[in-house]
Structure 1
Amino acid sequence: MRAQAMAPHIAERPVELLAEEEAKGELARLAIAIAHHDELYHAKDAPEISDADYDRLRQRNAAIEARFPELIRADSPSRRVGAAPAAGFSKVTHRVPMLSLENAFEEQDVRDFFATVRNFFRRPEDLARVAEDAIEIMAEPKIDGLSAALRYEDGRLVLGATRGDGVTGEDITANIRTLETVPERLAGHGWPDMIEIRGEVYMERAAFLAFNAERAAAGEQVFANPRNFAAGSLRQLDPSVTAKRPLKFFAYGWGETSAGFARSQAEALARFRDWGLSVNPHSRLCHGIAEVIAYHRDLAETRASLPYDIDGVVYKINDLDLQNRLGMRSRAPRWALAHKFAAEQAQTVMRDIMITVGRQGTLTPTAMLEPVTVGGVVVQRATLHNEDEIQRKDARIGDTVIVQRAGDVIPQIVGVVLERRPPGAEPYKFPEKCPVCDSLAVREPGMAARRCTGGLICAAQAVERLKHFVSRDNFDIEGLGEKHIGAFWQDGLIRQPGDIFRLKADVIAEREGWGEVSASKLIAAIDERRRISLDRFINALGIP
């Protein structure tokens, strides 16, 4: 509990300023958080944070471990890949683990990675092969899909499996057979008697948007992005459901094999093509670090024209002899690197600016956008942060704006396309009164935020404080989410925190969408949280 209570403050502290005890608590918090998000992403296909936010968690964990190696935990995320397979499918053990990849976010990260490769070797002939201007690297678009392994024996497909936690995956053979790009029998000749071919299952963007449109028209829940849709489709218990969804497969590697079949990554990809498997045509054999970085820049500029989502480039040392000698770390090979793209951007029209009021009265502007797909997610709103940001960007209603997904729950506006500004667009005037209670909205000297002075007479502040009170880090009352808090407030059932503990099952049961069973469960959940730790209680009250 102590580590959790300290986390909100320590989580923002630079790693170099952490004391040993604080670092220990942070590693405990990060291990729990990353395991939670791994489970959502790999086993349930329902991530609740962006890839950028997830990467930041892993980067912070790695930085703390590098500074305090004696504190590395047995359950460290750096020793784990993915998440355990879900129930519903039989388990498959990968005889050669399906490892994750080390990530790079800046060009310097890429140069540092290959400098580490050069430092691994000593013989002059080896150093010549890995020299910065000469090393052969296969650069492949990093498809944002679901990793899968296909086992062929005597050329026939006998098993399909997910990656799972890297060691144990799920048997999805019946589903993988429904993909047109997965051959039932390998073509050509020269394939080993047994080979496990690895690759990515994905869905093209146009097919995803069409399918989502059909679900929305039918009143069904839509998927957030093509990756989630592909993962959910591949893990259907009924293969006929998977067969109706246009999934595709790109081969990019291999695991266990009964015999060698190539001397380089480039040759291996060529063999895959000869055997009837799809290989990404945009993969490129590069010579030297400058060439791979140039390839990354080119692909970043043209990625929007690709029919599928990608989130970076994977670099693999081409020579398999060098790969084998470099070997593996605990969760990633030393011969491969994933170079992620910067947060994706798109342009759209800002139709309006909506002001919301937080639990402390802060007025926050949100851009209401013409819907636009950014990285496979349909974005309709984006944060403008505060009054100063609107003025600094000179964002006006009707402007064409640049939207960026940079790990925020709500994407952000990073700029305005001035040459597309419509005639008559007026500078935005930030409200001086609360849009909810009409109280004066004051901006204190030196502060970025303008705040409503209505306090608890402001319905927006009161509701937001109640939402904070029952949130996960505070009272954590199961079944009492933000939607129910808002509805109970609207109908006068609750006005202050104590009212939550005076709710009656018979009153709730009569409400639309509720019944005796669900109402009784909610009251039981509330009763369970009548006693909580002091630190949670203080935080729930909003006391810093």
Structure 2
Amino acid sequence: MSKSSVRQEMSELVNEIRDHQFRYYVLDKPIVSDGEFDLLWQKLLKLEGANPELCDPNSPTLEVGGGFATHFQQHDHFEKMMSLDNVFDEAELNSWFERVAKESTSNTWLCEVKVDGLAINLIYENGKLSRALTRGNGTTGEDVTLNIKTIKSVPHQLIGKNIPKLLEVRGEVFFPVAKFNEINETLEESGKTPFANPRNAAAGSLRQKDPRITASRPLDVVLHGVGAVDGAKFESQSSAYATLKSWGLPISNRYQVVKSKAEVAEFIEFYLKHRHDVEHEIDGIVIKVNEREIQNALGFTSRAPKWSIAYKYPPEEVTTKLLDIRVSVGRTGRVTPFGFMEPVRVAGSTVTNATLHNAQEVTRKGILIGDVVILRKAGDVIPEILGPVIEKRSGNERAFEMPTHCPDCGSTLRAMSEGDIDIRCPNSQSCPAQLRERIYYIGSRAALDIDVLGYEAANALLEDKLIADESDLFALSIADLKKSKFFLKKDGEIGANSVKLIAALEGAKARPLWRILVALSIRHVGPTAAQALANRFGNIADIERATLEELSDIDGVGGVIAQSIKEWFSEKWHRNIITKWEKSGVCLVDAVTEKLPQTLAGLTIVVTGSLVNFT
């Protein structure tokens, strides 16, 4: 390849990478997967390494961060906030170890999980949080102080002894995975657009103009680095963490000091296997020279410390071809389009289907059947199509059209209320798909957590007519299960899992009232609303008798959920579920709440004067 061709390719890569950085860091709306971006980055690095005379002095590989949003004030960091260089396999990691060994004699390494969040710099002056900045371009960041102060784990005032005059601490703002799943389920049930992924959710939540919106999101922070310090000295990275923790700062326990490359490899392998057991998303492991003196001696490149490296795990965002868009019917009748794709390996499993949420979302994302699409899957998060790779379109793609009739029962699909962007099957009582999904949901961890009541078991109970609907579930017996081949062994005897199912159903009868409420699949009633209802009323009978106003006034319920509850109880077949469950021995009373006196129920308490240190 001629020098002019190489220069042209490098220029195109620089422009393409800058565009992707802007979409990722500023818009929080990437259009390529992390893996694809890393490939572009590595390609540019190799070209620059082989052709240093052609290297653009403004290349993104020489810079930090990716720019700014437009509505925040900007301030300088006291000490430059660097990025990290990446390696992707054992050979590249060993090359980094060799480079460090040539310039130092490090005896210990600190390994820690790499949090996939939004980089943040917290500045404390005389122990008081004075400013919080995003990374920005590494020199200057966006001022998000008011928003950061809404995060409960961030102290406004440091505690303890020997607090320095100035302290910069760096870390990541993240959206806990469990909370991310909960809020997305709520958004989907409400017909709203869900967040694409936890990292984007964290970035978008922190960059709100109104801190009250940020405060409503369950953000958290973990700190993993120190910038400028005046009035304290740290001998090592690990001792710095211990000191920061003693001052009340949120430091992760997911790090380890090791003395060999073999131990580093063990740490990497451990979290590769257990990455989805962590409360936040991680995309790799960061390895640091532990001794601060050696860190200072090694120094920095223009964009990253020489004494630290990020070992990146295989991507959880990949590309594949969208072969078709089909629809599924959920437990509340919501009809959801999903993508049927060429099989692709992502996050440890092979994926062929991924949710598209609703027809408006398909249109908003600009997805066509036949597109090459970006697919994301992290842990227990349902695989999701983020968007198309428009540059790879052939012209043979076609638009998706939402069906007009339920694919399972043939009922005419419609929006159930004005302004609802979802369409639903109105045949909730006898639609096979809704029945199957409700039975399956009853057994899920989100509801009654009934062992061995999985999807296939739920389907067999209905297909073999062992139950007509969920009202019959708790009356099942071993004799009933013997009527279905699914629950028998090859020799015709009842299977061990069938015995477990009956025992698990018996145990589930004593679940807390809020779980019973969740299991009823009342639209919009998730764990939060169910617990509020159980705490307020203590039994299902009182919930049924409650007025719309009484329900609406409960914190965690509100008008929409209250209306949904009244509509649910107005159906005779719904009330029949309650009657038959109670007859089968299901406890419809919250024992704890029933024992508590309700002396102050319905009263408003007014406090005069002032309360010291009350927030």
Q: TM-score, normalised by structure 1?
A: 0.62
The equivalent residue for 2:94 is 111
> How far apart are the structure 1 equivalents of 2:328 and 2:263?
38
The structure 1 residue matched to 2:40, chosen from 44, 47, 57, is 57
**Is contact 2:154–2:249 with CA below 8 Å preserved after alignment?**
yes
- The sequence identity of aligned pairs, in percent, is 34
2:59 is equivalent to residue 76 of structure 1:
yes
2:268 is equivalent to residue 292 of structure 1:
no
Map Cα deviations across residues 451-478 of structure 1 (whole Å, 9 max, x no partner).
Answer: xxxxxxxxxxxxxxxx99xx6699xxxx
The structure-2 alpha-carbon separation of the partners of 1:89 and 1:412, relative to structure 1 and needing over 3 Å to count, comes to closer
The structure-2 alpha-carbon separation of the partners of 1:193 and 1:401, relative to structure 1 and needing over 3 Å to count, comes to closer
The structure-2 alpha-carbon separation of the partners of 1:291 and 1:381, relative to structure 1 and needing over 3 Å to count, comes to farther
> How far apart are the structure 2 equivalents of 1:162 and 1:379?
36
The equivalent residue for 2:148 is 176
The equivalent residue for 1:282 is 254
2:380 is equivalent to residue 383 of structure 1:
no
Letter in 2 for 1:47: P
Letter in 2 for 1:172: V
- List aligned pairs for 1:390-469, cutoff 5 A: 402-403=350-351, 409-411=373-375
The equivalent residue for 1:257 is 229
**Is contact 1:315–1:337 with CA below 8 Å preserved after alignment?**
yes
Letter in 2 for 1:179: I
In the TM superposition, residue 249 of structure 1 has moved relative to its aligned partner by: 0.6
> How far apart are the structure 2 equivalents of 1:120 and 1:370?
62
In the TM superposition, residue 19 of structure 1 has moved relative to its aligned partner by: 3.1
> How far apart are the structure 2 equivalents of 1:231 and 1:412?
17
> How far apart are the structure 1 equivalents of 2:126 and 2:120?
20
Map Cα deviations across residues 198-238 of structure 1 (whole Å, 9 max, x no partner).
Answer: 11110111101111112222222111110000000001000
Letter in 1 for 2:172: E
Q: Secondary structure at the match of 2:285?
A: strand
Letter in 2 for 1:189: K
**Is contact 2:109–2:289 with CA below 8 Å preserved after alignment?**
yes
In the TM superposition, residue 190 of structure 1 has moved relative to its aligned partner by: 1.8
Q: Secondary structure at the match of 1:227?
A: helix
**Is contact 1:382–1:411 with CA below 8 Å preserved after alignment?**
no
**Is contact 1:312–1:341 with CA below 8 Å preserved after alignment?**
yes
In the TM superposition, residue 299 of structure 1 has moved relative to its aligned partner by: 0.9
**Is contact 1:155–1:191 with CA below 8 Å preserved after alignment?**
yes
Q: Secondary structure at the match of 1:253?
A: strand
Map Cα deviations across residues 245-271 of structure 1 (whole Å, 9 max, x no partner).
Answer: 110010111111213421100000111
The structure 1 residue matched to 2:275, chosen from 293, 303, 310, is 303
> How far apart are the structure 1 equivalents of 2:139 and 2:352?
36
The structure 2 residue matched to 1:273, chosen from 245, 254, 264, is 245
2:194 is equivalent to residue 222 of structure 1:
yes
Q: Secondary structure at the match of 1:182?
A: coil
2:300 is equivalent to residue 320 of structure 1:
no
The structure-2 alpha-carbon separation of the partners of 1:228 and 1:64, relative to structure 1 and needing over 3 Å to count, comes to same
> How far apart are the structure 2 equivalents of 1:193 and 1:22?
54
> How far apart are the structure 1 equivalents of 2:321 and 2:169?
52
2:128 is equivalent to residue 156 of structure 1:
yes
The equivalent residue for 1:24 is 7
- List aligned pairs for 1:124-139, cutoff 5 A: 129-130=105-106, 135-139=107-111
The equivalent residue for 2:536 is none
> How far apart are the structure 2 equivalents of 1:21 and 1:297?
43
2:177 is equivalent to residue 205 of structure 1:
yes
The equivalent residue for 2:314 is 342
Letter in 1 for 2:292: L
The structure-2 alpha-carbon separation of the partners of 1:235 and 1:117, relative to structure 1 and needing over 3 Å to count, comes to same
In the TM superposition, residue 117 of structure 1 has moved relative to its aligned partner by: 0.7
In the TM superposition, residue 343 of structure 1 has moved relative to its aligned partner by: 3.2
2:187 is equivalent to residue 232 of structure 1:
no
> How far apart are the structure 2 equivalents of 1:166 and 1:345?
26
2:304 is equivalent to residue 332 of structure 1:
yes
> How far apart are the structure 1 equivalents of 2:32 and 2:229?
37
Q: Hey, which bits of structure 1, 4+ residues long, moved more than 3 A?
A: 343-346, 364-371, 378-382, 408-413, 471-474, 485-488
The equivalent residue for 1:4 is none
The equivalent residue for 1:167 is 139
Letter in 1 for 2:22: E
The structure-2 alpha-carbon separation of the partners of 1:244 and 1:403, relative to structure 1 and needing over 3 Å to count, comes to same
Q: Which runs of 5+ in 2 are unaligned?
A: 331-336, 354-371, 378-387, 402-615
Q: Which runs of 5+ in 1 are unaligned?
A: 1-17, 122-128, 347-353, 357-363, 372-377, 386-392, 394-399, 414-466, 475-480, 489-544
Q: Secondary structure at the match of 2:373?
A: coil
> How far apart are the structure 1 equivalents of 2:31 and 2:321?
24
**Is contact 1:138–1:317 with CA below 8 Å preserved after alignment?**
yes
CA RMSD between the two structures: 3.6
In the TM superposition, residue 368 of structure 1 has moved relative to its aligned partner by: 9.8
In the TM superposition, residue 379 of structure 1 has moved relative to its aligned partner by: 9.1
Map Cα deviations across residues 94-144 of structure 1 (whole Å, 9 max, x no partner).
Answer: 2311111110110111110010011124xxxxxxx33xxxx3111010001
**Is contact 1:404–1:411 with CA below 8 Å preserved after alignment?**
no
> How far apart are the structure 1 equivalents of 2:350 and 2:222?
32
Q: Secondary structure at the match of 1:160?
A: strand
The equivalent residue for 1:188 is 160
Q: Secondary structure at the match of 2:153?
A: coil
> How far apart are the structure 2 equivalents of 1:187 and 1:179?
17
Higher relative contact order (CA 8 A, sep 6+): 1
The structure-2 alpha-carbon separation of the partners of 1:410 and 1:193, relative to structure 1 and needing over 3 Å to count, comes to closer
> How far apart are the structure 2 equivalents of 1:45 and 1:137?
33
**Is contact 2:164–2:229 with CA below 8 Å preserved after alignment?**
yes
Map Cα deviations across residues 421-456 of structure 1 (whole Å, 9 max, x no partner).
Answer: xxxxxxxxxxxxxxxxxxxxxxxxxxxxxxxxxxxx
The structure-2 alpha-carbon separation of the partners of 1:77 and 1:326, relative to structure 1 and needing over 3 Å to count, comes to same
The equivalent residue for 1:85 is 68
The equivalent residue for 2:85 is 102
The structure-2 alpha-carbon separation of the partners of 1:238 and 1:482, relative to structure 1 and needing over 3 Å to count, comes to farther
Q: TM-score, normalised by structure 2?
A: 0.55
> How far apart are the structure 1 equivalents of 2:251 and 2:338?
31
**Is contact 2:35–2:317 with CA below 8 Å preserved after alignment?**
no
Letter in 1 for 2:12: R
Letter in 2 for 1:252: H
The equivalent residue for 2:541 is none
